């Protein structure tokens, strides 16, 4: 192996972490939006039928029930099963689910190989099918995760490509990037599969490669393993340029917006933020906006023309 795969791998990992951080961080800097929740909300006591604390009289005087564990479990369920697709669009789920699981598993596979390498390097572990104990477990676990990822990833990529090509509706909404993605990801999963079938059906090469990465040494691997390592690094670099951030932002969206039912209790916790927003000077041009005034001034004072029209004929 040349140093290229070593450098590109290290670069890819640094890049993906930094790029994701930058992309996600911008959402943390955005203003607190007005409430826009949508039921059912998993942390609510009456989640089963979509109920909320608004069903109680003087809810602001009652202790607030919040089942955070159920929210976490609901999110995990969404990631692991994609049940909504299964219920609403099952034929699509048949392609999307293996594709999606392929990604999760290939990341897990990569993590496992790194994990294996750490044990090999730091603890002189032997990781093989006959090592016994933890070494044998890690060997088989890594093997199963890797093979499953490559197999279902290939299957998912092909099915998604076919769906986007032959289904009129999906094709209409597809972009050239979608097709590139399916082909690129097929190459990534496929190269892993071929590397296993031709070069090394124990994944020992990948482990040795990672031992080399940890030592900053170049290590010789099979040619298909080499191809897969480079494609996977390219995949990591490419990921932030796709919509894949949704794996992270989805959590934020649910927690902050769809399930964001934290009420204003009137104690002024959000007042500093709100004061900042009320001091913004919007530039909207419609007549009912008042140029030069802050958001707060506009909300509390009517335009003079409208204010002068007010009916003051209150009954005596």
Partner 1 sequence: MAKKKIKLTDISKKPDQVLLPLDMSELETLPANAGGGETITPLTDEQKTRWEHNLDGISVLNLPKPKTKEEEDELVRKFLGGLEKLLSKENNWTFLLPLKMSLEYCGKCLACNEACPVFVSSGGQDIYRPTYRSEVLRRIIKKYTKHGRAMFPGFTDGNIELNWATVARLAELAYRCTLCRRCAQACVRGVDNALINHELRKLFSEEMGIAGEALHTKGTVQQLNVGASTGINPRAFADIVEFMEDDIEEKLGRRIKIPVDKKGAEVLLIHNSGEYVSWMQNPEAFAIIFDLAGIDYTLSSELGGYEGTNYGIWYDDLQAARIFLKHTQAAKNLGVKKIIAGECGHEHKAMIVIGDRLLTKDMYVPRESCFPLLEQIVFSGKLKLDPKRNDFPVTLHDPCNYVRAMGIVEPQRRVLRHIAPQFREMTPHGVTNYCCGGGSGFAVMSPSKGFVDWKMSISGRMKVKQILGAFKDDLGPGKHNYVCAPCSNCKGQIRDLIAYYHLREKYGIYYDGLVELIVNAMVDMKKPYIEWE
Q: Residue 76 CB, nearest distance to partner 1 (Å)? A: 13
Binding positions for partner 1, 32-71, rule CB under 8 A:
32-41, 44, 46, 49-60
DSSP state of 240: G
In whole angstroms, give the CA distance from residue 11 to residue 3: 12
Residue 22 C-beta: closest distance to partner 1, Å: 14
**Residue matched to tokens 């955070």:** 68
The nearer residue to partner 1, 92 or 141, going by C-beta atoms, is 92
Q: By rule CB under 8 A, what count of residues binds partner 1?
A: 90
Among 174, 187, 194, 214, binds partner 1 (CB under 8 A): 174
With respect to partner 1, which residue has the nearer C-beta, 51 or 218? 51
Among 62, 65, 77, 289, which residue sits at the site for partner 1 (rule: CB under 8 A)?
289
Segment 83 to 112, residues that bind partner 1, using CB under 8 A: 84-85, 88-89, 92, 96
Residue 15 binding partner 1, by CB under 8 A: no
* CA–CA gap between residue 18 and residue 234 (Å, rounded): 15
Restricting to residues 126-155, which ones interact with partner 1 according to CB under 8 A? Answer: none
Cα gap 312→38, rounded to integer Å: 40
The span from the CA of 120 to the CA of 269, in Å, is 52
For 124: left if phi > 0, alpha if psi spans -120 to 50, otherwise beta; the answer is: left
Per-residue contact string for residues 225-244; x = within reach of partner 1 by CB under 8 A: ----------------x-x-
- Cα dist from 305 to 7, 295, 311, whole Å: 67, 18, 13
Q: Which 8-state DSSP code applies to residue 220?
A: -
**Quick one: which segment of 101-109, 131-139, 219-227, 249-257 binds partner 1 (CB under 8 A)?**
249-257
């Amino acid at each position: 192996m040349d140093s290229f795969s070593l450098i590109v791998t290290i670069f890819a990992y640094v890049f993906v972490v930094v790029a994701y951080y930058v992309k996600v961080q911008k959402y943390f800097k955005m203003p607190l939006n007005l409430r826009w929740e949508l039921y059912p909300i998993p942390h609510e006591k009456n989640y089963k039928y979509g109920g909320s604390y608004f069903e109680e009289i003087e809810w602001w005087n009652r202790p607030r029930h919040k089942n955070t564990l159920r929210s976490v479990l609901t999110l995990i369920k969404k990631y692991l099963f994609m049940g909504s697709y299964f219920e609403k669009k099952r034929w699509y789920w048949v392609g999307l689910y293996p594709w999606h699981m392929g990604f999760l598993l290939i990341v897990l596979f990569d993590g496992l190989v790194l994990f294996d390498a750490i044990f090999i390097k730091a603890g002189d572990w032997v990781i093989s099918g006959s090592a016994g104990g933890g070494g044998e477990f890690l060997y088989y676990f890594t093997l199963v995760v890797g093979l499953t990822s490559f197999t279902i990833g290939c299957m998912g990529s092909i099915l998604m490509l076919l769906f986007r090509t032959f289904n009129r509706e999906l094709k209409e909404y597809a972009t050239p990037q979608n097709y590139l993605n399916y082909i690129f990801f097929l190459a990534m999963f496929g190269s892993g599969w071929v590397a296993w079938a031709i070069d090394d059906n124990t994944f020992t090469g990948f482990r040795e490669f990672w031992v080399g990465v940890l030592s900053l040494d170049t290590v010789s691997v099979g040619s298909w393993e080499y191809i897969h390592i480079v494609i996977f690094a390219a995949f990591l670099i490419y990921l932030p340029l796709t919509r894949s951030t949704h794996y992270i932002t989805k959590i934020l969206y649910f927690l902050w917006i769809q399930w964001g039912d934290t009420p204003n209790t009137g104690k002024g916790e959000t007042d500093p933020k709100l004061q900042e927003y009320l001091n913004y000077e919007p530039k909207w041009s419609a007549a009912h906006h008042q140029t030069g005034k802050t958001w707060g001034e506009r909300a509390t004072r009517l335009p003079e023309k409208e204010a002068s029209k007010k009916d003051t004929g209150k009954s005596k």
